[in-house]
Amino acid sequence: MTLALVGALAPHSPYPLPDENKILEQNLIILGVGLALTLGLILSVLVPAISQRKRPTFSLKWLLACVLSASVALYGGVCCWNIRLPNTEELEWRASLNSYMETTVQVEIEDEPLPLNQLVLSCLPRRPIYVFMSPDFGDKCVSVPTKAKSVAMKEFIPMLCKQADADWDILYRAILIYPKASRYRPQERPIAAAAWEAALLGKLSRKTTWEMICTPFGEAAEYLGSLSNIRMEFGPQVDQMLEVNLCPGENMRLDDSLTWFCFLTKTEWSLKPTENGAGMIWIEPRKNK
């Protein structure tokens, strides 16, 4: 199977990504309806009582209806509060993702299946969106049966996953393809609980560009450490000579880069305190196999 890009890159289903503005509008409607019902119920009791100069009286049904409408308003308010609208940088990345997903791939069928890792690492377009494949696939081979001469990436990736009995997701501004049976996912970014942790995470938030070709994992991790001026330490069971082969990663955060390096080598990283208070990064084999 031969793949070739046509034109320029102008990016349950993880795509398209949810529209936070539309979700916010829906939750605002829920909030407004709940507040309107609650206010209407309250006025239905207060207005007659004030006009007749009597103490307000209400039934059990009215009380239940008021509680229900107030709960709807509270639900809408909490949902609105928890929505994080994307910033300018995030919107630019999503535009790149949409262009990537509309990119056309030319497909020619050959008799013999291709190794999945070769297909993902060598054939799929890598810019501006990076595609990672779980190391749990090993040397698995797949073929893509299609009569179409050109397929958009948004259709081609699900087609690949179906043939490989895999799933895919969008994490840390990259696409991950992983076996359906695999429960292991890339670790989440640590949350700072102390000043030294916040300082380390601040250093790791900077962006960099890298390319790894037959690079030992230890050397690749040390390279990220040198860019962030953070000390790297490895557990005794970590194979630092395990080769990492990755196409150029452009403008990727240092912490996200380290997370993907560790994911591909079945390791995990964490923040550890040091005697001088600066802290370091500790890398060890992943606990969740």
Q: Which domains does the chain have, with CATH numbers?
A: 1-178 (no CATH), 195-285 (3.55.50.30)
| Per-residue confidence band for 4, with pLDDT thresholds at 50, 70 and 90 | very low
Interatomic CA distance for residues 86 and 262, integer angstroms: 27
User: Left, alpha or beta for 71 (phi > 0: left; psi -120 to 50: alpha)?
Assistant: alpha
Q: Is residue 289 over pLDDT 80?
A: no
pLDDT on residue 231: 93
For the segment 191-216, the average pLDDT, to the nearest whole number, is: 88
pTM for this entry: 0.67
CB atoms within 10 A of CB 189: 14
% of the chain residues with pLDDT over 90: 35
pLDDT on residue 45: 92
pLDDT on residue 9: 34
Residue type, 66: C
pLDDT on residue 170: 86
pLDDT on residue 148: 58
Distances (CA, A) of 68 to 35, 40, 42, 80, 161: 11, 13, 13, 19, 44
Greater pLDDT, 115 or 155: 155
Helices (H) then strands (E): counts for the chain: 8, 13
Q: Is residue 3 over pLDDT 60?
A: no
Greater pLDDT, 103 or 255: 255
